[in-house]
Amino acid sequence: MEIEQIQPEEIKARLERGESLNMIDVREPEEVALGMIPGAIHIPLGQIPERLEEIEQTGEIIMICRSGYRSERACEYMTQLGIQGLKNMEGGMLAWSQL
């Protein structure tokens, strides 16, 4: 399954232009405590199935984790449910912190 990737640089540029992005951070609470992208919604990966209704499913959905692995799994899971517009932030917060 091919999951569309989005670069952290693109997200940063779009946020700086004032765009409102639909971003879901699937990291664990102790990871999120170290910092999140402003505007992201925190739903730990294991809670995605029971919290799907909290995710706005119109247009683009950007999934975020530490390195890009868990968020890609989340994209795969949601794609199988028929959810459209999913993108995985390549490199995760490790890449974001280098910007």
Would you please indicate which residues are annotated as catalytic (active-site) residues?
A: 65
Query: CB-based contacts of 58: which residues, under 8 Å, 6+ apart?
Result: 85
How many other C-beta atoms lie within 10 A of the C-beta of residue 62? 23
Structure tokens at 5: 């990737």
